[in-house]
Structure 1
């Protein structure tokens, strides 16, 4: 089932032997490039270790279990939520959303048996809080319009889990912005359903910006993220190279990754793109992109490398030497193995605008399973994006 030379699944064999739902589950499991022996991990906890709390929640499926089994951490969350810099009505909305008390079709079906629970907007998935505020088309349009989308990645069973994770991943000063965007997503969604007004993500984010700015007593400066200019790509120190990576998930196709290495003048030294039939979740795709980028840097002979990603949780995990038994931590260990072959490594988080070239490599290249590496004659889409960044840094 495993293609040993590439440490990847033999997709044709998997599809030949297993049913579709089994294929999807198998292809979502990442493999170690070191071809380690199998080990058991608990898929319902981020670190891969079993906990009574997650088992209880898996059995009973209600968010109140978290409140009962995790009182101190829950109190800490509520304290940060009520202290966030946003409007009182936004806090009340967010409190209801995290408690699973919004009038979604899934929630209403618990009181009205037999009620249709398919989303009223996309008509694809069940209409839960998590779907409405992260996965539905309205939500995706707004998250794409702001810089908080990277905090949303991962597999969550409820919006409550997502909210707790985002509060950990985001700086405290951005909690209010995150909550306000969720509130505006809900409003835009309702306008679409009840008034037939299609979502305008730019107008919605301008409204969020105006609200937060007025709350802070500042004039709105425009743009989609309050108090933060679009981030440029910053060159590495002299004698160093900078590696930017990005991962992606292509619906119906598989997963992808992109990497670019540049010098202190911003000139590209190496670019790479990978496409896989493996069906990874976004956090795994980001981790795989980091691994593949570092591996490419080692194989190309680079010694001192600044590694940059738009996934803050991933960068924090590498900086803190985070350990665990999960698939995610297995990939981190693979990455550390290749980092040990470099002379010096430093880690840096960058927002989407500063990671655009890697994003283009991960998301905009023609789909072709396998890896492609360029050290010259770079693809035209990469060259045009590099030109834009060089002009930005010179201005």
Structure 2
């Protein structure tokens, strides 16, 4: 979709989890049965509700006969006949609707998906009225997204959870004696769930600080491509962080890369940049080291098995720090 439509998606007047579900649907990232079946995970690709067609994103969210009834009975009054892709549907609707209509659309979309999960995992049937009632409860006027507080010079030692609707991005760089650089990227939500992970390499790089700056530019570009619009970015490189905050100078070779990073900020509605000690950036650090073996890869809603225990440690640490 065009950047302006992504902006409309994330500014919808609705609970943050509805925007996140819409974002996943638009990128075909929801675990529908047809997708899982194609990956060898699910044995039955059929829709669990009608059992008459493969459960694709389009079928699950719009074109299952029961779901058509939900959309027609909703305040939007959609009459769904000709099938199209989720992204085509979003592009047409977001291009014409106002913020209130988009919020209504996403709340219904989320409720439809949750009703599907209730049926599949709890054998719980939801009526059309129940789905629409749930949707109406997801649009409280006080539900506004806020950016996390800046932490200034506070040297935090553990990974921290973002606020609802904010995507937490940790990145890191690793440098070999040959000056080849490895980059690591991990994006998570407020529950600590992995939304995306990535590795990449570059070389030769002049210094470790420049490698960190290049990793930041790469991470911001990747966040933009994945459709994240509200991000909290964290680094364990204090030199880069202080340079970004203009508290230290004398690193002119960083300036071009840092300027590139600042130009990317117009792609985000919320951007916060903070420092954390290496113990709070262990996943990104491990991914940066893995990059030399794995090369340039991106994982959606998962991460390499080598970092799974570190991800779990971060979740536990974030819970402990909030007590």
With the length of structure 2 as denominator, give the TM-score of the two structures: 0.48
With the length of structure 1 as denominator, give the TM-score of the two structures: 0.39
